[in-house]
């Protein structure tokens, strides 16, 4: 089992690598097109800004590579947002796997949304073995609205998509690598897809 973690101008790649090691899975952090294309699974993590991240991906043609992948791909936080069509963050055109926009959290809620919150209404095996309303860890200022791609929901001043799926592409707004046993289960389920 070869799991490639996309190396790009965004944080948290090391914490994803350590989370995989806890599961007994070897991962490699890489921006090599060959390694990404031949991996059994690809994880597309991210902490940072949409504009800078997309610029880095485009400079290296990783934008075209990622959308061409046929194996299961998991976007985490910014990685999930970049898999959408557009982000209000820095007016950024993204990868367009999920045909929807990322919007800034507004209203009376504190921004960023930081801390533990629950996920509900699961729709795929990514959440196999989890109790409904499991708690996961979030850090984000932007969100995806509910859509036909939504495979779990979270309420923070209104419902939003805490996870998305389209074909072999999955995205989670939360950080499974920082979400304890629930996060380990989600990562294990992804590895076993």
Catalytic (active-site) positions:
77, 175, 177
Q: How many angstroms separate the Cα of 113 from the Cα of each of 142, 147, 176, 189?
A: 9, 20, 16, 26
Give the whole-angstrom CA distance, residue 76 versus residue 47. Answer: 9
51: Cβ contacts below 8 Å, ≥ 6 apart = 89, 90, 91, 92
- Here the tokens at position 51 are 């504009």
8 Å CB contact between 102 and 86: yes
Q: How many angstroms separate the Cα of 8 from the Cα of each of 12, 72, 76, 110, 190?
A: 10, 19, 13, 29, 21
Give the burial string for 150-176 (b: 16+ CB within 10 Å, else e). Answer: bbbbbebeeebbbbbbeeebbbbbbbb
Neighbours of 51 (CB within 10 A): 14
Secondary element (H or E) of residue 57: helix 50-59
């Amino acid at each position: 089992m070869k799991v490639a973690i996309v190396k790009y101008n965004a944080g948290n790649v090391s914490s994803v690598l350590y989370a995989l090691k806890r599961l007994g899975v070897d991962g490699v952090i890489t921006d090599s097109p060959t390694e990404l294309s031949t991996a059994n699974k690809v994880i597309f993590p991210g902490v940072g800004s949409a504009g800078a991240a997309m610029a880095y991906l485009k400079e290296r043609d990783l934008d075209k590579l990622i959308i061409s992948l046929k194996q299961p791909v998991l976007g985490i936080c910014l990685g999930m947002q970049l898999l959408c069509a557009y982000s209000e963050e820095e007016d950024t055109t993204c990868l367009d796997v999920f045909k929807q926009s990322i919007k800034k959290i507004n209203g009376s809620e504190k921004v960023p949304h930081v801390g533990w919150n629950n996920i509900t209404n699961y729709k795929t095996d990514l959440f196999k073995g989890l109790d409904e309303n499991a708690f996961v860890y979030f850090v984000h200022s932007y969100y995806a609205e509910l859509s036909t791609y939504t495979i779990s929901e979270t309420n923070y001043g209104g419902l939003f998509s805490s996870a998305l799926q389209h074909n072999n592409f999955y995205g989670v707004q939360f950080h499974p690598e920082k979400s304890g046993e629930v996060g380990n289960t989600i990562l294990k389920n992804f590895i076993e897809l």
